[in-house]
Amino acid sequence: FNSDPNVGMRMVETAENVAKDEGITKEACDDLALKRYEQYRMALDNDRKFQKRYMFAAEVKLSRKKSVLVEEDEGIMPTTAEGLANLKPLVPGGVLSFGAQTHPADGNASIIVTTEEKARELSSDPALPIQVLSYGYAREKKGYMAAAPVPATRMALEDAGLSIQDIKVIKSHNPFIVNDINFAKQLGVDANAMNNYGCSMIYGHPQGSTATRIIMEGIEETAQKGGGYFLWTGCAAGDTGAALSIKVG
> What is the rounded distance in angstroms from the CA atom of residue 192 to the CA atom of residue 184?
9
pLDDT of 124 strictly over 80: no
| pLDDT digits 0-9 by tens, 14-28 | 999 999 999 999 999
CB atoms within 10 A of CB 23: 8
Residues near 24 by beta carbon (within 8 Å), at least 6 away in sequence:
18, 95, 178, 181, 182
Task: Give the mean pLDDT of 171-190.
Answer: 97
pLDDT digits (tens, 9 = 90+) for 65-111: 999 999 999 989 999 999 999 999 999 999 999 999 999 898 899 98
pLDDT at residue 62 in the model: 92
| Mean per-residue pLDDT over the chain, rounded | 94
Mean pLDDT over 44-53 rounds to 96
Confidence of residue 123 (pLDDT cuts 50, 70, 90): confident
Q: Is 42 left (phi over 0), alpha (psi -120 to 50) or beta?
A: alpha
Q: Which of 165, 213, 205 is nearest to 12 (CA)?
A: 205
Q: What is the pLDDT of residues 204-230, one digit of tens each?
A: 998 879 999 999 999 999 999 999 999
Residue 183: per-residue pLDDT: 98
**In the prediction, which pLDDT does 2 show?**
75
Q: What's the CA gap between 224 and 204, in Å, rounded?
A: 24
